[in-house]
Structure 1
Amino acid sequence: MKILWFIPTHGDGRYLGSTKGGRPVTFSYLKQIAQAVDHLGYYGALLPTGVSCEDSWVTASSLISVTERMKFLVAVRPGLISPSVAARMAATLDRLSNGRLLINVVTGGDPVELAGDGLHLPHDQRYKLTDEFLHVWREIMSGKISDFKGEHFQFVGSEIAFPPIQKPYPPLYIGGSSDAAINVTAQHIDVFLTWGEPPAQVAEKIEKVKQVAKKTGRTVRFGIRLHVIVRETEEEAWLAADRLISELTEGDIEAAQKVFSRFDSVGQKRMTALNKGNRNGLEISPNLWAGVGLVRGGAGTALVGSADVVAKRMREYEKLGIDTFILSGYPHLEEAYQVAELLFPKLDIKQENQQNDKQWLSPFGGIAAR
């Protein structure tokens, strides 16, 4: 099981949808989170993308020199950047980080934001563009010369001079729920990500991806993107969940849901259907809470409970075929420690690069007077 954390380049805080206890995005704060991720033994961290975020490539580049082991899951945006330029950027970051780059393929789900970036293609056409993008990107990242003519791209003699460290290229991740996303996955993607839906829905999606990928002769791995609220007791965890949305007004929720309604993302529509835009019935599956999605786009659910219970729920997803968990919690610095200290000991996670704390001679834990 691989556990990744999240770098909140759109801001952080103790409450959703409120400036109370809010924290601005500064390099100092992002560095603290990245170094915590690095030290605690997480596999890596996801950096979000979009108009409300600091640029993920610049941020990851600034953090590679202050970390040693963690990987950075960074977005490429087909339609907003050329595949050849994206390949050069990826190869460079992979080389400079000594092979610590993961690629998140993001087609975008908000037509208004995409129009602001000059992209006006409808949903399924964006995925056709993504298919062409990845065809070229994978070809030249693998050391080949690409001569490609498609509906959206035409390349003659495209190549990169300096190859990435990871072969044939850094692993490709994608999140999606639509048939178009699944078709792209079957052709190109290494790890298919789902947002945190009830296990039965996740199982159905995984099976669908497997069947489509089987036709292409490819094998796809699976991951899930979730928030997590883990405490020493169930009661503490649910109190923390209630506290997280305690500053939200009905107006806040209504305004956020209005924005989400314009999205053409199938995944976003599925998230919105889980919370129904109100505070009632937010536990949609045992310990799966949809409160985050009241005002946050994208991943809108959290696993809530004691470490034993949250680990149990994660193992239920693992049995479905999920081997990668991308987690987050508010505020992200403190919750990175909370998750690592409470949850990691309950799970069989991949920590081959974690530093051995036993080498340190400094005090460890609380020490009684002597």
Structure 2
Amino acid sequence: MTQQQTPQCEVSWFSALCDDDYEFLGVPDPQLASSWEHCRGIVQRAEEGGFDNVLLPSGYQLGLDTTVFAAAMATQVKRIKLLWATRMGEDWPPQLARRIATLDRILGSDAQGNGRLNVNIISSDMPGEKIESGPRYVRATEIMKIVKTLLNGEHLDFQGEFFNLKLDPPRITTLSGKCPAFYFGGLSHEARECAAEAADVYLMWPDTMDKVRETVTDMKARAKAKGRTLKFGYRAHVIVRETEDEARRYADRLLSKLDEEAGKAIREKSLDAKNYGVQRQQELRSAADGDGFVEDNLWTGISRARSGCGAAIVGTPDQVIAKLRAYQDAGMEAFILSGYPHVNECDMFARYVLPQIQHGPLAL
């Protein structure tokens, strides 16, 4: 399949705000720790490399504050979009709407006049808080609906389980006058229902191709039942080298200094460590072969020292492109990629893969 025959997709990179950058997994490196200088450098390199978007993740114990970093980065970049992650419960919903509108205005618009801010909605426990998953996802659904109403310039009259609000939209609007896209992920029934009802882009972590297709079919049906449609995104790590042997050797090298107890401690540090999606990543690792591959070019070794997205697409440029196109055939329209160390792998992907992909910002 040629580049011209392949539908366009959005290709994003990842800035390691959550102390998630290593030369050797599980071995902290002060030069790669979350800092303004280091994480800014990742974003700038992603923009220079031609990526469409960059995820700014959210963590509590694990590094820089995402909102402050996003506001600062909005003044530093010229073209790339920012996918700003925020945890539901951090802000009162009307204040969250103002925060999003302000970030959108600082970041500015692209050549077509479209906003350059997207929002990654996270529905996990807040630090020191414990809410059952059902009510927690109800809260996230309510917040997304409230924020969308306000940022779309509509009067809000909302009665829900968590919020009862009546107010006019804030004076500060986004540049487009519309709410930016909400990217959202989660595998449990409650998470899927939340996404189907209020999200715009449903994000998946790595999984086998049959499970990817199964999840897309399920989510399309759930959204249709609510009179909505969804776009789909795929979050994965990547290791691309000129030969497959070289890529596999680099994967082995990443794990060569990992202490299993240290890896377990890293996995359990996250607030999301016990959720359904994280458990699925561990299942994939358990199902993998002796080299850590659960299917062609999908390596699960990263889940030994990371909570969350725990697998990498590993191979030659042609193999990586073929895998991405297979995901596109399954319904994926956006990719959020990363690699270790993040700046180095960003350069590798930008050199070997990105020029061969028809890509651009996701149209919503």
Instruction: Give the TM-score taking structure 1 as reference length.
Output: 0.88
Query: Which one of 349, 355, 361 corresponds to residue 339 of structure 1?
Result: 349
What does residue 112 of structure 2 align with?
none
Deviation of 1:43 (Å): 0.7
Structure 1: distance between partners of 2:10 and 2:316: 20
What does residue 54 of structure 2 align with?
45
Deviation of 1:278 (Å): 9.6
The answer to whether the 8 Å contact 2:157/2:167 transfers is: yes
Deviation of 1:261 (Å): 11
What does residue 4 of structure 1 align with?
12
Query: Which one of 18, 22, 25 corresponds to residue 13 of structure 1?
Result: 22
Distance 1:55 1:261, change over 3 A: closer
Tell me whether 227-236 or 73-82 shows the greater mean CA deviation: 73-82
Which runs of structure 2 are paired with 1:1-370 in the superposition (5 Å)? Answer: 1-11=9-19, 12-20=21-29, 22-51=31-60, 52-98=62-108, 99-108=115-124, 114-116=126-128, 119-256=129-266, 263-276=273-286, 280-350=290-360
* Deviation sequence 1:172-231 (CA, Å, 0-9, x none): 100111111111122111110000111111110000000011112211100000000000
* Deviation sequence 1:45-82 (CA, Å, 0-9, x none): 00111111311111111112221011111123222321
Aligned-partner SS, 2:161: coil
Deviation of 1:338 (Å): 0.6
Structure 1: distance between partners of 2:231 and 2:184: 11
RMSD: 2.1
The answer to whether the 8 Å contact 2:183/2:202 transfers is: yes
Deviation of 1:311 (Å): 0.5
Distance 1:53 1:19, change over 3 A: closer
The answer to whether the 8 Å contact 2:66/2:86 transfers is: no
Deviation of 1:268 (Å): 0.8
Gaps of 5+ in 2: 1-8, 109-114
Aligned-partner SS, 2:217: helix
Tell me whether 31-40 or 92-101 shows the greater mean CA deviation: 31-40
Larger Rg: 1
* Amino acid paired to 2:56: L
Structure 1: distance between partners of 2:324 and 2:189: 26
The answer to whether the 8 Å contact 1:282/1:291 transfers is: yes
Structure 2: distance between partners of 1:139 and 1:255: 41
Deviation of 1:253 (Å): 3.4
Aligned-partner SS, 1:187: helix
Structure 1: distance between partners of 2:176 and 2:250: 40
Deviation of 1:350 (Å): 2.1
Distance 1:193 1:258, change over 3 A: closer
The answer to whether the 8 Å contact 2:11/2:335 transfers is: yes
Structure 2: distance between partners of 1:41 and 1:261: 32
Deviation of 1:260 (Å): 7.5
Structure 2: distance between partners of 1:291 and 1:260: 18
Deviation of 1:263 (Å): 3.9
Structure 2: distance between partners of 1:3 and 1:153: 36
Structure 1: distance between partners of 2:18 and 2:80: 20
Structure 2: distance between partners of 1:75 and 1:31: 16
Between the aligned residues of both structures, percent identity stands at 32
The answer to whether the 8 Å contact 1:13/1:330 transfers is: yes
Deviation of 1:305 (Å): 0.4
The answer to whether the 8 Å contact 1:268/1:298 transfers is: yes
The answer to whether the 8 Å contact 2:11/2:53 transfers is: yes
Aligned-partner SS, 1:140: helix
Deviation of 1:126 (Å): 0.3
Tell me whether 182-191 or 238-247 shows the greater mean CA deviation: 182-191
The answer to whether the 8 Å contact 2:203/2:233 transfers is: yes
Aligned-partner SS, 2:333: strand
Tell me whether 221-230 or 39-48 shows the greater mean CA deviation: 39-48
* Deviation sequence 1:18-66 (CA, Å, 0-9, x none): 0257522332222222111112210110011111131111111111222
